Amino acid sequence: MPEKKKQQKQDEFENLRSPLFKLVILLNIAAVFTGLWYYWGQLAATPLQLLLFVPDCPLYVLLAIPILLKWVKNDIYSFLVSIGMVKYGFWTVFVLIYNWDFYFLPDFLLVTIIFIIGHLGMALEGAVLLPKKRIGALALAIILAWFLLNDYADYFLGTRPLIPENGINLVRDLTIAASFAITLGFYFYGEKVRELLPVKFGRWLIQN
């Protein structure tokens, strides 16, 4: 009898996977459209050659969808998307909290809380998408260079999101440091990241 009840609970738990997975896909799609709406004015004012560097969060959420749907199975692509989602997810949360006196005003509070929750979820999803197999050193160098190029575009060519100028040099320096820390950290300690309980749950959810 105990074994039967245990199996029944496992079956019920497994039955949750499909609706939860569909919810994740829908949330990703909603995040892409919300992000594009948020960046629309900045995109319209940005030169064509710099457009790719503007919508950081919606770009990487969009790139994650083919991985979730198993349309793309490539470790280098997955590593790139994983780093992008973690970096810009945590970057957004940091900027919102760092500029507490602006984003936590009563007029912005609800939106700020939603943004923090959503971007923490984005960072977690990025960790979930980290591939099992370690990519090659050349691919690692190219991906790191790509994120450093993003940082250069953001802080020297004007493609960063429209955030308060207060402490912008500190934000810039921490952003560049994050490009190194997250990229190299995930490269060398990927197995430890994948063993974190929230990440293991996410992997079960997307069957990764």
Give the model confidence (pLDDT) of 40-81 as tens digits.
Answer: 999 999 999 999 999 999 999 999 999 999 999 999 999 999
Compare 17 and 94 and report the one with higher pLDDT. 94
- pLDDT above 80: residue 6: no
pLDDT tier at 208, thresholds 50, 70, 90: low
86: amino acid identity, one letter: V
The pLDDT of 172-193, averaged and rounded, is 97
Pair of tokens at residue 199: 């990440």
The pLDDT of 85-96, averaged and rounded, is 97
Lowest average pLDDT, out of 11-25, 65-79, 128-142, 174-188, goes to 11-25
Closest to 121 in 3D by CA, of 86, 82, 70: 86
* Cα torsion angle, 32, 37, 42, 48, sign: positive
Average pLDDT of the chain is 92
> In the chain, pLDDT over 90 holds for what percent of residues?
86
Give the model confidence (pLDDT) of 115-139 as tens digits.
Answer: 999 999 999 999 999 999 999 999 9
pLDDT tier at 186, thresholds 50, 70, 90: very high
Q: Would you kindly state where each structural domain of the chain is located, as residue ranges? A: 2-206
The pLDDT assigned to 17 comes to: 77
Q: How far apart are CA 174 and CA 185, in angstroms?
A: 15
For 135, phi and psi rounded to 5 degrees?
-75, 170
The pLDDT assigned to 112 comes to: 94
Give one DSSP letter per residue of 89-120, joined into a string: HHHHHHHHHHTHHHHTSTTTHHHHHHHHHHHH
**186-191: long-range contacts, CB 8 A cutoff, minimum separation 24:** 186/79, 186/82, 186/83, 186/86, 186/130, 187/79, 187/134, 187/135, 187/140, 190/130, 190/131, 190/132, 190/134
Indicate the DSSP class of residue 132: S
pLDDT tier at 2, thresholds 50, 70, 90: low
* Cα torsion angle, 106, 110, 111, 114, sign: positive
Give the model confidence (pLDDT) of 128-171 as tens digits.
Answer: 999 999 999 999 999 999 999 999 999 999 999 999 998 999 99
Burial class (CB in 10 A: 0-12, 13-18, 19+), 153: middle
The pLDDT assigned to 108 comes to: 87
In contact, 175 and 151? CB cutoff 8 Å = yes
Number of Cβ within 10 Å of residue 96's Cβ equals: 20
Pair of tokens at residue 70: 């198993």
